[in-house]
Amino acid sequence: MIVFRFRKGLNEHDIIEVEMEFNQTASVEEINKEYYEWFWNIVGDSVNWFEK
């Protein structure tokens, strides 16, 4: 089990945490891919994206 954490503020209630289950044979690349998808799903909801 791996815990992904993201702190979006200074307070304890500003921490987002999720436990992810991976196989024993999961590669670092696979874990990183899952982390990036999880992270951008959270951050993507709280930022504004503009095209240049």
Per-residue pLDDT tens for 1-52?
Answer: 888 888 877 887 888 888 989 988 999 999 999 999 988 888 877 777 778 7
Asked if residues 46 and 8 have their Cβ atoms less than 8 Å apart, the reply is yes
The domain total for the chain is: 1
Tokens of 30: 């696979």
pLDDT the model gives residue 29: 94
Which residues constitute the domain of residue 19? 2-44
> What pLDDT shows up at residue 28?
93
Amino acid 46: pLDDT: 73
Q: Is residue 52 domain-resident?
A: no
The reply to whether the predicted model has a pTM over 0.75 is no
For position 27, what pLDDT does the model report? 92
**Residue 20 belongs to some domain of the structure:** yes
Please count the residues of the chain: 52
CA distance 28 to 11: 30
Residue 23: inside a domain, yes or no?
yes
| Residue 17 Rama label (left phi>0; alpha psi -120 to 50; beta) | beta
Residue type, 4: F
Q: For residues 6 and 14, is the Cβ–Cβ distance under 8 A?
A: no
